[in-house]
Amino acid sequence: MRVLHVCNASGGAPWLVEILRELRDRGHEVAAVVRGDDGSLAAALREIGVRYIVLDHDVLAGANPFVAARRILRLISLLRQERPDIVQAHLFSSTIATRIAAWIADVPIRLSMNTGPYYLESPILGDVDVRTAWVDTRTIASCEYTRRLYIEKGVPADAVDLIYYGSNAARFDPAHADRGRMRRELGVGDDVPIIGMVAYFYPPSRPHPAVSPAMVNRGIKGHDVLLKAVPLVLAKVPDARFVLVGDGWGERGKAYRLEMEALAASLGIAHAVTFLGHRLDIPDLLAGFDVALQCSLSENLGGAIEALMMQAPLIVSRTGGLVDAVRDEVTGLVVPPDDPPALAAAICRLIDDRALAQRLAAAGRKLMLERFTAARTGADLDALYHSCAAAARFAGRPPHLAGYRLGRTVLRSAWSPIWALQLLRMVWPVVLAVINHRRASGVGSNDAATGRRRDS
């Protein structure tokens, strides 16, 4: 089938590249709509030979409804030109724009795949998501927690599928890793425990109607939680070393990383904590961790899949989809979120009990290879595509020949202003907050309003 994936990003999103590669290898004609061609995402798509189209379709980035309407119209025009059998959206801003445009364009099969629970947890954006989900042929949750949120908020259970954003098992293979790379770089011996976390430094969310109260002024990945746990670990394991891998997401993210470096200094632990920044050798680093961490406050699966694929003993916070991959005392350890003492105790336990750490890590890798690979994601999506096509009863015709009816597009276009007003009424507090924020500080809109946060 002809499949078009829509993702309002220009960098990151390695999962999209893996999905498109898998679907192409299964015989589908795939293409992507991305935000720009100057970032890592377009470069990765060029490298694997997947066609992409550049179109900024972010309808939540500003307060001008005419700009939003033009972007929707451009996306409608693109869909009618491309005539895909299936359109699938990722990320919140792409989901809202694509639902509207694909419904008006009369795309036969319309899917959205939620990258994480962050926006569903928002009191306003979660409402927008759920109230537009009726447009989807199927709505795809990427962890059990997100699926449960959709159902609790009113999306019918039989309309929500669970498909994980899997990782490339060939890349994350401990048999091919250089476990000693990080120790040589840090200048430490084999007897020194290394505890590490791989995560972007996302800037804390400012007070905002679209932000869950629990996330205001907090870094979503829990870097501060980890740093506050470090002194407690050092009290029991004085020679332990902590490694934080990842750069700041945007300029505010870079400033937040500097705040975390200052926090480490103020806690008197700077000598034991290394900020490695952006790295390309993630498999080698994960293989070198004696303990890997994902202590997010809100999350899909974060870096849990990759850590377990590399057979790193893993500790996660009990949040979002992390518990799908890490089953407590089976494939890793699970601790309460935002609890430095509990995190420190779990770290010390795995350092002290190496047999337990190795047993959990081996079980974790086994589960990842069974359930969380990119190949499994491709297979699950392929099965869903064929199921949707069969259910639509296209009488043996390709779906694109059964859709794109001009009369239906005209009627839906006439009705769409009413729908747009309903959506605007829901998001107007967000729009006002963005306007007031810009007037007060002269900076761009908050990540939570634009939907650009990367959750997976």
pLDDT of residue 211: 73
The C-alpha atoms of residue 13 and residue 29 are separated, in whole angstroms, by 20
pLDDT band at 138 (very low <50, low <70, confident <90, very high): very high
pLDDT band at 413 (very low <50, low <70, confident <90, very high): confident
Residue 230 has pLDDT above 50, yes or no: yes
pLDDT of residue 420: 65
pLDDT of residue 446: 38
Asked whether the beta carbons of 203 and 249 are under 8 A apart, the reply is: yes
pLDDT of residue 431: 58
Between 280 and 340, residue with greater pLDDT: 340
pLDDT of residue 351: 97
Task: Give pLDDT tens digits for 56-105.
Answer: 888 776 656 778 788 888 999 999 999 999 999 999 889 999 999 999 99
Token code pair at residue 267? 């806690």
Average pLDDT over residues 272-298: 94
Average pLDDT over residues 292-315: 95
Task: Give pLDDT tens digits for 350-383.
Answer: 999 999 999 999 999 999 999 999 999 999 999 9
Residue 11 has pLDDT above 90, yes or no: no
pLDDT of residue 394: 59
Residue 203's nearest CA partner among 130, 151, 256, 246 is 256
Dihedral angle sign, alpha carbons of residues 181, 185, 191, 193? negative
Cα-flanking dihedrals φ and ψ of residue 51, to 5°?
-70, 140
The sheet with strand 86-90 has its strands ordered as 51-54, 29-34, 2-7, 86-90, 109-114, 138-141, 160-162
Token code pair at residue 200? 């972007």
Q: What is the share, in percent, of the chain residues with pLDDT greater than 90?
A: 65
Q: Is 372 exposed, middle or buried (0-12, 13-18, 19+ CB in 10 A)?
A: buried
pLDDT of residue 306: 96
Structural domains of the chain, with CATH: 2-166+374-450 (3.40.50.2000), 174-371 (3.40.50.2000)
Beta pairing class for 86-90 and 109-114: parallel
Which region among 10-14, 178-182, 226-230 has the lowest average model confidence (pLDDT)? Answer: 10-14
Sorted by sequence, the CB contacts under 8 Å of residue 66 that are 6+ apart come out as none
pLDDT of residue 239: 95
Greatest CA span in the chain, whole angstroms? 72
| DSSP one-letter string for 280-318 | S-HHHHHHH-SEEEE--SS-SSTTHHHHHHTT--EEEES
Beta pairing class for 314-317 and 86-90: unpaired
Name the strand (E) or helix (H) holding 71: helix 65-82
pLDDT of residue 424: 61
pLDDT of residue 435: 53
pLDDT of residue 115: 87
Between 259 and 439, residue with greater pLDDT: 259
pLDDT band at 121 (very low <50, low <70, confident <90, very high): confident
Token code pair at residue 115? 């990258």
Residue 455 has pLDDT above 50, yes or no: no
Helix (H, G, I), strand (E, B) or coil at 4: strand
Residue 275's nearest CA partner among 291, 252, 259 is 259
pLDDT band at 397 (very low <50, low <70, confident <90, very high): low
Residue 222 has pLDDT above 70, yes or no: yes
Residue 276 has pLDDT above 90, yes or no: yes
| Mean model confidence pLDDT for the chain | 88
pLDDT of residue 453: 40
Average pLDDT over residues 412-416: 72
pLDDT of residue 445: 38
Residue 452 has pLDDT above 70, yes or no: no
Most confident of 58-72, 144-158, 211-225: 144-158
Residue 434 has pLDDT above 50, yes or no: yes
Average pLDDT over residues 303-319: 96
Residue 144's nearest CA partner among 349, 383, 321 is 321
